[in-house]
Structure 1
Amino acid sequence: MGKVGHYFRFAENQTTLRTEILAGTTIFFTMAYILLVNPYLLGKEAGMDFGAVFVATALAAALGTLLMGLLANYPIALAPGMGLNAYFTYTVVLGMGVSWQVALGAVFISGILFLFLTLVRLRELIINTIPAGLKSAVSAGIGLFIAFVGLKNAGIVVASEATLVQMNTSLTEPGVLLTVLGLVITVLLMIRGVKGAIFIGMVTTAIIGMITGVVPPPQGVVSLPPSVTPTLLQMDIMGALDLGLFSIIFAFLFVDLFDTAGTLVGVSKQANLLKENKLPRAGRALTADSIATMSGAALGTSTVTSYIESSAGVASGGRTGMTAVVTAAWFLLALFIFPLVETFASVAAITSPALIIVGVLMASSLKDIEWNDLTEAIPAFLTVVMMPLTFSIATGIAIGFIFYPLAKVFVGQYKRVHPILYILAILFIIRFAFGGSL
């Protein structure tokens, strides 16, 4: 183990192999809910092969996390991103009628662009170009969007001819009651600071569902993984290169870029890994993320990004890439519990509480918006509110990018807006004018 300790710099980071294993295990169980939620969204909802999406999710998470550990030596795990998987399913595939093959092609292209921006070192320029308020608004808007999806799937919020949406008048339905109970359990666990609260809440909800007869019992526990062939290399890159899909590719790239940057900085700061407020080996970390996104699209899943849940591992003492390696190993082992995932992920009452809670966590970025400055607040608010109301993350981003430079120009602060923002605003206006919604 001396070579392992030397490679991951245990002594320099004041950690041990035992601590790193514990931290990696903690991260896995904190984010293991993605193994149920992602196959549900892409498989059950978007029409992809459920088993293949499960395998693609686990393999993409394992590969991305392993690369993060070995290349960048950071205790950060990756997996298909929440929000982006919902955007993939409900906006791109179901909303716009784009085939999932073309949607995977768009994800693959966004990964290539991410890698290009990383290699030519333009990522810092782009990150610094986007106003902090818009970054926070995008995260919060995605949170509201995810929470709305969870409420809708659970049957708590339903359609209404008079008001578009309303509370379900039949909250005593078994599935709805199970969702509410699962949400309460998860909330209580999170309030108490229990690590892996979302995953534990899902498992507890599943057990209660089986006891009450709402959830069918699994047909087994352990089995060989299903085939990934139905989704492997099925992405349609040429179809995604259609000019009309610019906004889709941009949304995938934009959210992944800032999700990853924010997570890297946040977790590294928590672990005291920043040097002079800068992130060492940032290029390697971003390269791992972009390769994971391209590999995930090739396997058959939506954009792979860094997970803020990695902070749970840092809180447990994880300081090096060995933590990520352990998490990756857990994802590979999870391939063999498909019977459980197949049963539980098909029940909205089990997956919906996770969507709602993740939405709450992402909406916390609302506090970082300068609400006293209307040139910041109005574009941010429109970004946030338009995502759930139009059921499109891309539309929310576009609205914010149009109104931000417009507001600044009107008050004479046009010099504070980077030229890139003006270009993007014009492109989005043209898209709305000639292509309708995004």
Structure 2
Amino acid sequence: MGPGESETQTPAEPSGLASVLDRAFGLSAAGTTMPTELRAGLATFLTMAYIMFVNPAILEKAGMDHGAVFVATCLAAALSTAIMGICANYPIALAPGMGLNAYFAFTMVPELGGNWQLALGIVFLSGALFLLISLTPLREWLINAIPLNLKLGIAAGIGLFLALIGLQNAGLVAADATTLVKLGEPTEYIPALTIALMIPLSYSIATGIGLGFIAYVALKLLSGRVREINAASGTIAGAFLLKLIFA
């Protein structure tokens, strides 16, 4: 090799398990790598992990066991996503749909006299019918028949519905017989807002959560509700306060 010439660096070929997965899923042909796919998978999981908690919280209102729904939700999401990846080699994660679970819990089950077992049987039959439709051109025709504005409206509506659930669980809003919703208890939503604001402002997840615990304990003390402070919350708030003082 003459002066001024540089040796061309070629990317290392994947080996071992990475090589097997690369050949199975065509990662190199798609212009991606194992580390990239692992990061993308982790980001996708964190994005949709809320379903593990929201779905059981909704369906238990229909009389279903919270723990059983939690396990079923995890298994359904894991198995359907694995089948999508292995059989279709398509990077799409699947999980129980938001919106339909609310329709199931608050419309179907009450209309059937609270019989959620019967409602689940109807869901199974509808799923089998949709599977048969998917094997015919009728599926594509039905999807194309839905106006774009309606598709966008459905997505926005589900997003607002999930936002309302999050705000309710955080204590920011509460049910009201007159206005449907009202501002929640300050001692509940201020700590949640503190965490949501301080994590990005402090560039630290631990700092944001710690300040949220401090805000929770401080508000309980100021409102004279000391007995509502559990030992774990008090200990975490105290430890983090000492860290802030002596850091």
Whether TM-score is above 0.5 comes out as yes
Q: Which residue of 2 aligns with 1:16?
A: 33
Give, in angstroms, the shift of residue 35 of structure 1: 1.7
Cα 1:134–1:30 change in 2 (3 A) is: closer
Match of 1:171 among 185, 207, 211: 185
Residue identity opposite 2:182 in structure 1 = M
1:15-414 pair list within 5 angstroms: 15-43=32-60, 45-93=61-109, 97-152=113-168, 154=171, 156-160=173-177, 163-168=178-183, 171-172=185-186, 174-181=187-194, 184=197, 204=209, 208=213, 212=217
Instruction: Supply the distance in 1 between the matched residues of 2:192 and 2:106 (Cα, whole angstroms).
Output: 21
Give, in angstroms, the shift of residue 141 of structure 1: 2.6
Question: What CA deviation, in whole Å up to 9, does each residue of 1:156-210 have, x standing for no partner?
Answer: 14323xx442523x632x3343444455468x58xx9x9xxxxx79x949x8399
Give, in angstroms, the shift of residue 29 of structure 1: 1.9
Residue identity (%): 45
Give, in angstroms, the shift of residue 149 of structure 1: 4.3
Q: For the Cα contact (< 8 Å) 2:190–2:215, is it kept in 1?
A: no
Cα 1:122–1:157 change in 2 (3 A) is: same
Residue identity opposite 2:213 in structure 1 = I
**Relative contact order (alpha carbons < 8 A, sep ≥ 6): 1 or 2 greater?**
1
Give, in angstroms, the shift of residue 87 of structure 1: 2.6
Aligned length: 202
Structure 2 counterpart SS, 1:167? strand
Cα 1:144–1:46 change in 2 (3 A) is: same
Q: For the Cα contact (< 8 Å) 1:42–1:89, is it kept in 2?
A: yes
TM-score (norm 1): 0.40
* CA RMSD after TM alignment: 3.6
Structure 1 counterpart SS, 2:95? strand
Instruction: Supply the distance in 1 between the matched residues of 2:230 and 2:55 (Cα, whole angstroms).
Output: 19
Q: For the Cα contact (< 8 Å) 2:188–2:216, is it kept in 1?
A: no
Structure 2 counterpart SS, 1:102? helix
Give, in angstroms, the shift of residue 127 of structure 1: 0.8
Q: Structure 1: which 5+ residue stretches go unaligned?
A: 195-199, 219-438
Structure 2 counterpart SS, 1:82? coil
Structure 2 counterpart SS, 1:14? coil
Cα 1:158–1:112 change in 2 (3 A) is: same
Structure 2 counterpart SS, 1:78? coil
Cα 1:209–1:39 change in 2 (3 A) is: farther
Q: For the Cα contact (< 8 Å) 1:210–1:216, is it kept in 2?
A: no
Structure having the higher Rg: 2
Q: Structure 2: which 5+ residue stretches go unaligned?
A: 1-16, 218-227, 234-247
Instruction: Supply the distance in 2 between the matched residues of 1:114 and 1:78 (Cα, whole angstroms).
Output: 16
Q: For the Cα contact (< 8 Å) 2:191–2:215, is it kept in 1?
A: no
